[in-house]
Structure 1
Amino acid sequence: MSNVLVIRDFKTVWQKANALEREIEALVKGFPSHEQYRLTDQIIRSSRSISANIAEGNTQLFIKRELFHANAALGSCGETRNHLLTAYQNHYISEEQCKTLDEKFLEVIKMLYGYIKMLKSCLDNESVTIDP
């Protein structure tokens, strides 16, 4: 490993993911009570997992571990998008709500792709990474 110090700012994508998490939590308050331990719980868990994985990955000492968590965050985005579609299909949310949230999740996904690309670049350069 070289002694190159790379400081990454994960906060932009984390903030977007965190904002979506809060939107989802507000949205599910309108879901039927019989979904409390099914769809409601699943969509809250998957949306929380996005920002949690970004933050957890950023505190890792090794880029490969951070990449693992960034990929997990991508997976949680896909899972949450699936739950949104299920909510729409069951008429718990409107088509407009589904479309608007899906566009926001696509934005986070694109940001994560960029983040992963940057991490892979750091890995290729064998950089030591630290985020204060």
Structure 2
Amino acid sequence: MSENLLIKDFKTLKVWQKANAFEQEIGILAKGFPAYEQYRLTDQLVRASRSIGANIAEGNTQLFIKRELFHANAALGSAGEVRNHLLSAYQNGYLHKEKYDSLDAKVVEIIKMLHGYIKRLKLEIKNDSDFSDF
């Protein structure tokens, strides 16, 4: 291997850092949900929140920008899924309005950051002559 091999570190991405902090907050929150929701809403919410950061990390570790873009888009979908599950939790009385609003605002911020990340990746693809054949 080349001594100058660049290894991208997803942990340096602000969007991953926000997603990771959000995932930790959801994990704590989900412990307070009713036991009968463990394999339903709780599991879905935790998995979707974990999927945001996991997809960012997986994509950022890819060799090809188009693969990174694919995973960033998957993270975006997971963020939308989280918003849906948070709304369900609120509607079922598992969250107070203030907590729901706070968490929803955090997901919206992550979504906006993902949009910016995706836009940057698209520009990289457009400006990289190595991708002209793809």
The TM-score normalised by the length of structure 1 is: 0.88
| 1:18 correspondence with 2:20 | yes
Q: How does 1:49-128 map to 2 (within 5 A)?
A: 49-126=51-128
Percent identity of paired positions between Structure 1 and Structure 2:
67
Q: Which runs of 4+ in 1 moved over 4 A?
A: 7-10
Q: Match of 1:37? A: 39
Cα deviations by residue, 1:1-40 (Å, 9 ceiling, x for unpaired): xxxx9x7976210000000000000001110000001000
- Aligned equivalents of 1:27 and 1:59: distance in 2? 29
Alpha-carbon deviation of 1:127?
6.1
> When you count helix as a share of all residues, which structure comes out higher?
2
Q: Structure 2: state its 5+ residue gaps.
A: 1-5
- The unaligned stretches of length 5 or more in structure 1 are none
Residue correspondences, number = 123
Letter of the 1:100 partner, please give it.
S
1:76 Cα offset (Å): 0.2
